């Protein structure tokens, strides 16, 4: 930091005879982080924010919104014929972002080698997966469930629905869409999915070795 003098300093002068007084405010540059971008504050020596920068801060009303979608794992296929919009030049992430911004979007079909992105108006569990090997598919779940790690066992006898032909992700999806569902029992080698009306800590885990179990915890 440079000190400004009232008069030029003469070599050999008695510095102690005339105290150096700096009558200008001292400013200190402080680096700050504002909502993901770097900003700079100019503060006076007493810590007060300088007026031009204060006006800039007070006028800012940017708030980062939370994402709408929780995404299932990508699987081969698509929900052809159930498209809200078809977009080109996308990456998987920008395709997901486009769906996230559209309240009517429930899924995406994505063609990786073309950057082709289709926003779906349904989930594969509702309107079917055509198995098209050119595409990969993912569901946008509204985020009701935060899933616990899979453990061996099930909550047998506490089933809201028993579903066949499911993957682990589509089983979770079915539970996520049912407000009464609190857990899933899944039999991997059969694609058998059972939606539970309770959690293992409430109704017990029977330890069945041919099933895996997960709880849907509210977010």
The verdict on pTM exceeding 0.75 is no
**In whole angstroms, what separates CA 118 from the centre of its chain?**
20
Q: What one-character DSSP code corresponds to residue 33?
A: E
* Helical residues (DSSP H) of the chain, grouped into ranges: 51-58, 92-100, 124-127, 168-176, 200-203
Per-residue pLDDT of the chain (219 residues; tens, 9 = 90+): 444 444 444 444 444 444 454 455 444 443 433 333 333 333 434 444 344 433 332 333 323 344 578 788 899 999 999 999 999 999 998 999 999 899 999 999 999 999 999 999 999 989 999 999 999 999 997 777 888 999 999 999 999 999 999 988 789 878 888 889 999 999 999 999 999 999 999 999 999 999 999 999 887
* The pLDDT of residue 50: 41
- 47 and 41 in contact (C-beta within 8 Å)? no
* Helical residues (DSSP H) of 115-163, grouped into ranges: 124-127
* The pLDDT of residue 1: 45
What does the alpha-carbon distance between residue 129 and residue 152 come to, in Å, rounded to a whole number?
29
* The pLDDT of residue 66: 46
* The pLDDT of residue 15: 42
* The pLDDT of residue 67: 59
Q: Which pair of structure tokens corresponds to residue 85? A: 């919009």
Structural domains in the chain, CATH included, are 1-64 (no CATH), 71-141 (3.50.4.10), 146-218 (3.50.4.10)
H-helix or E-strand spanning residue 80: none
CA distances from 143 to 66, 67, 84, 107, 156 (A): 11, 9, 21, 13, 26
* The pLDDT of residue 40: 38
DSSP 3-state of 127: helix
Q: Which pair of structure tokens corresponds to residue 143? A: 């985020």
Please tell me the number of Cα atoms within 13 Å of 63 on its side-chain side: 3
């Amino acid at each position: 930091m440079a000190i400004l003098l009232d008069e030029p300093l003469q070599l050999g002068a008695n510095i102690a005879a005339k105290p150096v007084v700096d009558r200008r405010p001292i400013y200190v540059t402080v680096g700050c982080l504002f909502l993901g971008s770097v900003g700079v504050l100019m503060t006076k020596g007493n810590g007060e924010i300088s007026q031009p920068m204060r006006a800039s801060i007070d006028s800012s009303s940017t708030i980062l919104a939370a994402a709408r979608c929780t995404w299932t794992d990508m699987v081969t296929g698509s929900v052809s014929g159930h498209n809200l919009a078809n977009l080109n030049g996308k990456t998987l992430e920008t395709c997901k972002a486009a769906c996230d911004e559209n309240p009517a979007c429930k899924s995406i079909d994505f063609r990786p080698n073309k950057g082709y992105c289709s926003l779906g108006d349904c989930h594969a569990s509702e309107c079917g997966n055509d198995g098209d090997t050119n595409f990969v598919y993912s569901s946008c779940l509204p985020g009701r469930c935060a899933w616990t790690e899979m453990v061996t066992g099930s909550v047998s006898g506490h089933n809201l629905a028993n579903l066949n032909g499911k993957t682990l992700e589509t089983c979770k999806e079915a539970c996520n869409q049912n407000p009464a569902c609190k857990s899933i029992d899944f039999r991997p080698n059969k694609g058998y999915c059972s939606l539970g009306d309770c959690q293992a800590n409430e109704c017990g885990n029977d330890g069945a070795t041919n099933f895996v179990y997960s709880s849907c915890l509210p977010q």
